[in-house]
Each structure stands twice: as structure tokens, then as C-alpha cells.
Structure 1
Amino acid sequence: MLRVIISIVLLALLVTGIGYQQLQSTINSTLAVPENTLFAVKKGTGFNQLCQQWLAKKWLEGCFRYQVLAKLDPSLTDLKAGLYQLDEGTVLANIRRINQGQQVSFSFTIIEGQMLRDVLSNIKVAPHLQQNLQATELGVQITGVEQHLEGWLFPDTYHYHANDSASSVLKRAYQKMQSVLDDAWSQRADVLPYENQYQALILASIIEKETGLASERPLIASVFSNRLNANMRLQTDPTVIYGLGEDFDGDIKRKDLTTYTPYNTYRINGLPPTPIAMPSKAAILAAVNPPESDYVYFVAKGDGSHQFSKTLKEHNKAVQDYLRYLKQLNKLD
């Protein structure tokens, strides 16, 4: 009888040892996937179905032991739909990634000073986005009101998951711009040459397009503020270029400055009707808090910076200096 008991105990220990080894083997077994493999888990996919899909791709050798493990730990069967990046880690680690919904993330960037047409062109080719933007009434789709969308998308990088919609990305950009603009407007100077946030956004977009050096944004804002206060036209080339649209060939000409469009600030008084680009937070802050100065002119110096002037005489000299710089540069070429 004692021998029988000893035999049973030894057999139990042997089975337990084998079971433990099998359990450890299952836990430590790796998923044989190519590097940086993207795998879509469709809505309603069950644990057994997932295992069979991986088996068909020869990423694992069998499903039975994982099905047994799932019986011991039912949380493994909670699969969340989405697109996942699988790796050569353990099978269980990859399953846990799906359990936790750790989908692969993609990004879309709106650049400071970028125009709406370029933002839309880029988002149309952004990977794994549902392209649901409306050809007409896009402003209503994104903002919920009758609103021209130019200027309203905050420059930043926005992360999204596969099958998110393009409109959801742009709505986040719009909401962030609203928040930044609201906050800046609440800190505005007591006296400004415009009446509302939208006009501040328009001026900020012009400041953004005129800025070569970030440090010059406040002074450029000061020049435009001074010109508006003095009822002088803004006379800024970026607005002319924006008004020309697709007709702009990359080289602004004298006739462009004299051709009327609602955006030609050589021909119109005050601000153009809409922003001309997506302004940065720094440009918005400069627009609502321009520093005090006597500058009403500026011209490029050729190195990305500008020469600021208080009088037309000073400005004309700065223009001549810039023209001489260009002439010398052409000789070097």
C-alpha cells in the first residue's frame, strides 16, 4: 500500500513538473512576427479567432495551450479593436497590448504659418485616417458655425489612431486655437486698434507670415498696430500673395501690388477679411500685446531679420541698403 501511495505522489509530482514546464514554456514563447508588424483587430474578434489568424500566418505553433491559459485567466479574452504594432516579444505580451487597447499612434502636424489649403492637402494623404472632410461648408463641419477656417487651426502635432476621422483631428486643432485665443484675449492690452478676437487672429496671421526671426514678432506687431492707429495701410506682401492664390508664381511683382483683391493691403484700408495662415501662440500674444514703439516701417535685411524705421526717410535708406545687398549677392552668384 505504501508503494502505491509513493507511486501516486511521484506521478503527481511528475505531472505537476511537466505542467509547470508547459506553463512556463507558454508564458515565455515568443511571437514570430516580422519587425514592426501592424495588425488590425476587427470589432468582435474573439480570442480563438485571433489565435487562428496568428497561426495561419505561422507566427505561433499552435493555439491549444493559449486557449487553456485563457481559461485560467479570462482577462486574456478581452480584445479591443484597433491597429496594433506587434513585436517579437512573448505571445502573451502582444495579447496584453491588445487587451489594454495600446493601439499604434500616428501623428499629423500643422506648421506655424501654414495656409489652410496646405493643411488640407496634407491631411488628405495622412495614413490610416478616414477622409470625411466636406468639400463645401468645411468651416461649419469643423467649427459648428458659419466660419471661414483659415487661421483657426492651431499649429501643433496631433496624435490619432487608425480609422479616426480627418474631421476629428481638425476639430481638436480648432478647439486648441479657440482656447489659446481666448486666453490671450483675456490678457490683451487695454487699447488695441481692433475690436475683437477674430481681428486679433487676422493680425496674428500676418505677423506670422512676416516673421523671419521669432524674436521680431513683438516689433512687427508694434509696426502694424502703429499703422492701424495712424490710419495707414498695412502694405504687407503676404496678404497680397494670399489674395493672388493659385495665380501667385513665387515672385511678387509691382502689378501684383496694384491689383485689387480683398486681401491687398496696398489697396484696402485696415485688416483683410480673414486670416491668411495659421498663427502661432507667440504671434497671437504679440498681436494682443504689441510693445510701444515709434516704428511704422520695416524692411528685410537679407539675413532673416528686418530693419525697423520711424520715418519714411529712414525706411527709404533701409530699402536702398537692402537693394545693394541683393545686388552684391547676385555678383557673388
Structure 2
Amino acid sequence: MSDESRREWVRRAITVAGTLSVRATSLGAHYLYVVARLVVVTGVLVVVSLLDDHSWGSVRRWFLLDGNRWSIAVLLTGVVYATLVALIGLDVVGMSNAGFVTGLFTAIISGLFSFVPIVVSVNQLTVARVVGSLDEIREQMNSVRQFRAEIEAVDPAAGVSSNDPGPFLAALVAVVDERVERLADELDATTGPAHDTGATFVAVLRSQVAHIQSRVTGQRQPIEELLVPMMGDNYPYNVQTARKLLEDHGDDLSPPARTLIEELKQLSIALDLLRQYYKALYIKQALSRLSRIVGYTGLGAFLIAGLTILVFANGRPLVAHPFVLELLVGLAVAAVVFPFTVLLSFVVRIATIGERTAAPGPFTPVRETPSYARHSRD
């Protein structure tokens, strides 16, 4: 082999080695990115599995009730996106076939055409229940006025109650707090089982009052911010405890203590009624708002899905940048999934509130006061 041929062979070898090195570096970075995301997801799952019952209960309560619905929808969408990118990176899901991508988004568009009208129909059913005859509307208004008058009669010094749900609830809870402290003072002069049972009753009421007061500012607030702190508070249990306290230890209690226990029983009934009324208001508002949001996000998802189909109509784009293409397709899938995650995040709270307040009055199913509720007394 001549020197010139040897030099030509060396140049070709160096060129091939450089090309392979660049491709290997790109491929290594790509899989390093995928592995890093898998490690993060695995770490999150391990942390969740190690949570104790109290911490896990707090996570569940955040997901079901306390958490911002938009944050939960974005979180769920992010999980879908990360999972899809990881599957693409591991070649479990391939994007090299343009026909597969167009078929996928065509199916999604078909689903959106069914999904959005169904959700909007739920809104129409809600509106249909709101509309009624004049007699029905008058009866409902009179019942609300009567309830407000009963609450105002408990504390005449407070004057006319507010029309806003937040200040009204704050005023009612303040009355409960004042009666609880007066009852605690009366129980100081009592001994024996009557004192112990009464002290437990006072402790439960104090805990419920403190929980609501920590979340209710007394200003105008959305209904859900008022309703969520009342979830898990077993008001029928308060009524039952007050009845048993008066029946079993009424003779050992002073007349003012008996009067205060009776008033707290009626106030617990009022809180239960108010929770049911706020629940009805919230569900009507939430379903109407949800229909509007799903309509907006559904339109955006339809446009993104249509644009993706048009991009892949002439074959696979960005052939020279497969990693960028995979990220963009993952974003497109996340965008079309977003209306579904929004629906899930809102429906989860609506269903949870409905489940926890399904039975007003003395009969309380077990699921209305779950094990991780703040005030579980079943």
C-alpha cells in the first residue's frame, strides 16, 4: 500500500470515527435525559410509598379537596407528557411512522367531538334544574330568609346578617365559638362523667371551629373555599353527643350548661344545613364553569390535533432532529389530553364533596367521615 493510499484510508477512518462519536454522544445524551426522568419518577413513587398514614392522608385531601384544580390538571398532564417521552425514548412507542401519528390524532379528534358535547349537556341539565316555577323560587327564597332569621335570633347583638356566604359563615362560627367557651366555663364547676363527656364535646367543637376560622377570612371568598374546611366535620355527631349528654348527665349539669348544650346542638344542625346549601351552590357553579372551560380547552385541543395531522400529512418532519420531534409530539399529545385532565380534576372534587355530604341529618355513612379527615368521630 502506497503512502498516499494509507493517508486516504486514515482520513476516512477518522471521518467515520468522528461521525460515530457525534451520533453516540447525541444518543447518549438522549438516553441520559430519559434515564434521568425515569429516576425522578421512581424517586417520587418511592417517597409516596414511604409516606405514613397522616402524610398520605394529607396528599389525598390535597388531591380531592384542598388543591387548586388547575394545578392538579397541569400536574396530571405533565405526568402524561413525561411518561410518553420516556416510552418514546425507550422505543416502546415509535414516532417514525407518520401514518401512526396521523391515525392517533384523528382518533383523538373523534373523541373530542363526543367528549365536549357530553360535558356541555351536563351543564344544560344543571341549568334545567335551576329554572323553576315562581312558586318554587318563592318557596326557596322564603326558606333561605327563614334560616337567616333563625341564625340572627341566636345572636341578636350581631344585627342583620350578611348576604355574602363568607361573612355569614364567619359570623355563625363566631357564635359557636362564643357558646363553646361559655360552656367550658360552666363545665369547670362540674365533676365526674358529666365533666369528662362535656369536655370531650367542647374539644371537638373547638377543633372544628378553629379549622374553619383558619380558612375563612370573613371576607368575600369563593364557595369552594368555604365548603372545603367543612368537609370531614361530623356535625350529626355533635347533635348526637349533645342529646346523649343531656339525657345521661342532664341532672348533673347546671341550667346554663344545659341551655348552652341545647344551643350548640341547634347550631350544629345549622352548620349541617349551611354545608348542604353551600354544596348545592358550589355544584351548580362548578358544573357551569367546567362546561365553559372544557369548551375552551376542547377547541384548543382540536386545533392542535388538526395542525399535527397537517404537519405529518406529507411524511415525517424534522428527520434530522428526531429528539426535537419526539418532544414536540409529546407536547401535542399533552395538549390534547389537557381537557380530559381538567375534567378529571374538577369532577374529583365535585364527586368527593357530594360523597361526603350525601346524607344530611342524623344518619352519617362511614365514607362521609373518612379515616384521614381532620375531625373523625365515627
TM score, norm. by length of structure 1: 0.23
Higher RCO (Cα < 8 Å, 6 or more apart): 2
**TM-score, normalising length: structure 2:** 0.21
Higher strand share: 1
More helix by share: 2
